[in-house]
Amino acid sequence: MHAMEFAGAHQPLHPTERPVRKPTGRNLLIRVGACGICRTDLHVIDGELEHPKARVIPGHEVVGRVVAMGPEARGFKIGERVGVPWLGFTCGRCHFCRSGRENLCDKPKFTGYTLDGGYAEYITADSHYSFPIPKIYSDAEAAPLMCAGLIGYRCWKLVRTAKRLGIYGFGAAAHIVAQIAKHHGQQVYAFTRSGDTAAQKLARSLGAVWAGSSEEMPPKLLDAAIIFASVGPLVPLALKALEKGGTLVLGGIHMSEIPAFSYDLLWEERIVRSVANLTRQDAIEFLRLAPRVPIRPHVTTYPLDEANEAIAVLRKGNLVGAAVLVPAACEGA
């Protein structure tokens, strides 16, 4: 099969051919229909996440069809559509796994980082960590649901009671969360890089009551905010915009250094917390909710071979919504 593999920090991904193997154990062999590009892939490619699998194939927003099943694979049929997220394996035995927090497992494996991911024509994935895809979505539309959507949903669950919700960094995750928030009657305030009128326009079209630059103060203080951009200096800016008792959720897996700030910004019971990975329960809940909203991801597709070009566009911030790679055989499908 054709795939794009990690060739070392800051190197372009390298096109390669790999054998397609019969799945063993609980694994599914999946023919990839689409794979989203997540910001975390950029952190893997830039060497900011330590100890990736050697020559790893990135990509953890994978949607495809089951073509073969290992003898112990459960829950799927040949030909069925399936999604593969970031969380690829948990130990099931550690303190965190046994207390409903498998997202914090001591010995996890992650798709497209410590396991080969979906920048390829085929992927092998554990059936216990794979999910059926709602019918209303095409493969390309469904791809960003598998991380931007899932992590966004896990962040949103922490701020679901907020009336006024700020979202900093209006990319793939934010444009999905804005749709969930609007569906639940929340007011969305969208913060983008200054001058990013395309992202602000998308935010307004999805029902945001206000859209502006991250340096601006919203017209009213916010009950909660989520930061999806991996930019540490946004933390004090977002705290400044928070009402007393407000919660600030940091949704990125990697963030640049957070500058020192005055205690005033945290005082009065404001909370700052991060969200790490996802649980399988998050995936089940979110994939049930998505078609009910219905969440409509905005996607731009690129051929798999143009992964490096697509990554460059995402890196520059010149992309509205989500970028999705499509293997050659699936183009136009």
Footprint on this chain of Zn ion (rule: CB under 5 A)? 38, 40, 90-91, 94, 97, 105, 147
Tokens of 87: 């969380």
Q: Which is nearer to Zn ion, 146 or 235 (CB)?
A: 146
Q: In b/e form, how buried is each residue of 145-174, taking b as 16+ CB within 10 angstroms?
A: bbbbbbbbbbbbebbeebebbbbbbbbbbb
Residue 315 main-chain phi, psi, to 5 deg: -60, -40
| Calpha distance 273→263 (Å, rounded) | 16
Q: Which is nearer to Zn ion, 96 or 137 (CB)?
A: 96
CB of 256 to Zn ion, least distance (A): 18
Q: Which is nearer to Zn ion, 89 or 168 (CB)?
A: 89
| Calpha distance 4→306 (Å, rounded) | 10
Q: Which is nearer to Zn ion, 35 or 188 (CB)?
A: 35
Q: Which among 326, 308, 303 has a CA at the least distance from the CA of 34?
A: 326
CB of 183 to Zn ion, least distance (A): 22
CB of 96 to Zn ion, least distance (A): 5
Q: Which is nearer to Zn ion, 20 or 276 (CB)?
A: 276
Residue 159 main-chain phi, psi, to 5 deg: -130, 20
What's the CA angle centered on 47, arms 94 and 59, to 5 degrees? 70
CB of 105 to Zn ion, least distance (A): 3
CB of 197 to Zn ion, least distance (A): 26
